[in-house]
Amino acid sequence: MQQHKRPPASLLFIFGGSGDLNYRKLSPALFKLFIDGWMPEKFGIVGIGRTEYPGNSYHDRLLDGITQFSRRKGEQNGEWAEFSKHVSYLQMDAESEAEYQKIAEIVKQKEKEFGEHPNVIFYMSVAPWLVPDILKKLGPLNICADTKCTRVVVEKPFGHDLKSAQELNALLASMFDEEQIYRIDHYLGKETVQNILALRFANALFEPIWNRNYIEHVQITASETIGMEGRGAYYETSGALRDMVQNHILQLMCMIAMEAPVSFDANEIRNKKVDVLHAIRKITNEQVHQFAVRGQYASGWMKGEKVSDYRSEKNVAPESPNDTFAAVKFYIDNWRWQDVPFYVRTGKRMHEKATTINIQFRPAPSYAFPPEAAETWRANRLTISIQPEMDIRLRFQAKQPGQSLSLTPVDMTFSYKDAYEGQEPEAYETLLLDVMEGNATLFMRADQVEASWKVIMPILDTWNNRPPVDFPNYAPDSWGPEDAEALIARDGHNWITLASK
């Protein structure tokens, strides 16, 4: 086992202990941290849920999730047996106030066992509408007043719109200090996303040209091939704009557009990001149709398999106006980015699963070369592939070998796979470790969440008030509706895919 500085003693309560997120992500991540020697010397994990788990069946269920989803499968030479000693299940009705005393008792008991007061972490891995009620019952426990050691982790979606996000923030603020609150956006835990800061600020090469003088436009695509996968009920209350743009995509945009931080202090980084959100040009209700496009997938074929339309998915209304695709053009009004468009798009049932950021540079003046040499001339482009490919590619011109002078674009590529041995940590491993260590850099602050809701509210309101007339409007296995092509083509650009030159 590798040796690291471990986080202090921690006791983690997972509300939604019997749920899908714990099964697929949290427990596999915690187990992986354990195997790699990152868990505290003293720790306890308590899953909380309504479901009954007689005997060993809770452990069996978690092991099943780990076998399916952890990068370290199965029992791992007895390490599971060791890990599972720290894991227990508390069956309780989260709606009954009296039951919360059970939590206080477990904390006391663990304090005795550990011989010290541990960090106490409450992870809200439950449906969003249950969160306020749980917080109201949890907040009055004495333990929550301990601003140093007690933390609460809130999953997305954080609110449903600006108003509900403000209400949730106010509720949290009435019981916890901001330093105790960890709002998760799992994209921020991805290695490739964190690397954007290294790329920009640990190299002298990029920053001098990282502005409107050299960059023509920026594109962010987060496309998925999956449909609803049983999440229809949630998705009906969300849609692509809320589910992906309000959080993940705006966060990526902040990483690309922020000014250089003066330190890696959590608040310093978050201040710089929130500045970007405040500088995003407000889209008025009247402008929404020029700046935003929505879509919903039809039935059709996906890699040889017949798939149903969105409206036929389980728990989706037969005439649902909900968006499964969204594309938006943003501008950031500041000295660095004035008039540089940021095109973003995301959708379900699209042609490929890929999250990529393209920085398209302005063309070089080509006067010195004969016209035939420059026929295949392309402007420089930096492509940051977040997933599933994890690489950074810089496109530049090269002379094609031969007696004639002909220029073609070539790529210089940094690939994680080739450069580093071993696998990079999963986002949830990074984020859970940060919570135990008390490092909030990769988490959303209250004002960040509200600022990003403010950015998308005019689009949400306008779409809400004008039901779509053309849904479903894109085929599965495509790149979304035609209007999304028009959105960018009007400015003389194309959406860039991994295959495009």
Under rule CB under 6 A, residue 243 binds ligand BG6: yes
Interface positions, 344-383, toward ligand BG6 (CB under 6 A)? 355
Q: What's phi and psi for 360, nearest 5 deg?
A: -95, 115
Of 320 and 355, which CB lies nearer to ligand BG6 in the complex structure? 355
Instruction: Confirm if 148 and 37 have CB atoms less than 8 A apart.
Output: no
Under rule CB under 6 A, residue 224 binds ligand BG6: yes
Q: Which is it for the CA torsion 89, 94, 99, 102, positive or negative? A: positive
Of 224 and 482, which CB lies nearer to ligand BG6 in the complex structure? 224
* Alpha-helix residue ranges (DSSP H) falling in 377-493: 416-419, 427-437, 446-465, 482-489
Which residue out of 117, 186, 248, 351 is catalytically annotated? 248
CA pair distance 247, 253, nearest whole angstrom: 10
Under rule CB under 6 A, residue 426 binds ligand BG6: no
Under rule CB under 6 A, residue 236 binds ligand BG6: no
Q: Which is it for the CA torsion 192, 150, 170, 97, positive or negative? A: positive
CA pair distance 113, 115, nearest whole angstrom: 6
Specify the DSSP element, H or E, that contains 326: strand 325-330
Count of residues for the chain?
Answer: 501
Token pair belonging to 171: 């509720």
Interface positions, 284-343, toward ligand BG6 (CB under 6 A)? none
Site mask, ligand BG6, residues 172-211, x = CB under 6 A?
Answer: ----------------------------------------
Instruction: Confirm if 319 and 311 have CB atoms less than 8 A apart.
Output: yes
Residue count, binding to ligand BG6 (CB under 6 A): 4
Of 387 and 441, which CB lies nearer to ligand BG6 in the complex structure? 387
Instruction: Confirm if 15 and 51 have CB atoms less than 8 A apart.
Output: no
Of 110 and 156, which CB lies nearer to ligand BG6 in the complex structure? 156
What one-letter code names the amino acid at 179?
E
Q: Among all residues, whose Cβ is closest to ligand BG6? A: 243
CA pair distance 71, 69, nearest whole angstrom: 7
User: Before 370, cis peptide (omega within 30)?
Assistant: no
Taking the complex as a whole, the smallest distance from the CB of residue 424 to ligand BG6 amounts, in Å, to 13
Of 307 and 374, which CB lies nearer to ligand BG6 in the complex structure? 307
Of 164 and 287, which CB lies nearer to ligand BG6 in the complex structure? 164
Taking the complex as a whole, the smallest distance from the CB of residue 156 to ligand BG6 amounts, in Å, to 6
Annotated active-site residue 248? The verdict is: yes
* Alpha-helix residue ranges (DSSP H) falling in 208-301: 232-236, 240, 250-257, 266-279, 288-291
> Active-site positions?
248
Binding region for ligand BG6 (CB under 6 A): 156, 224, 243, 355
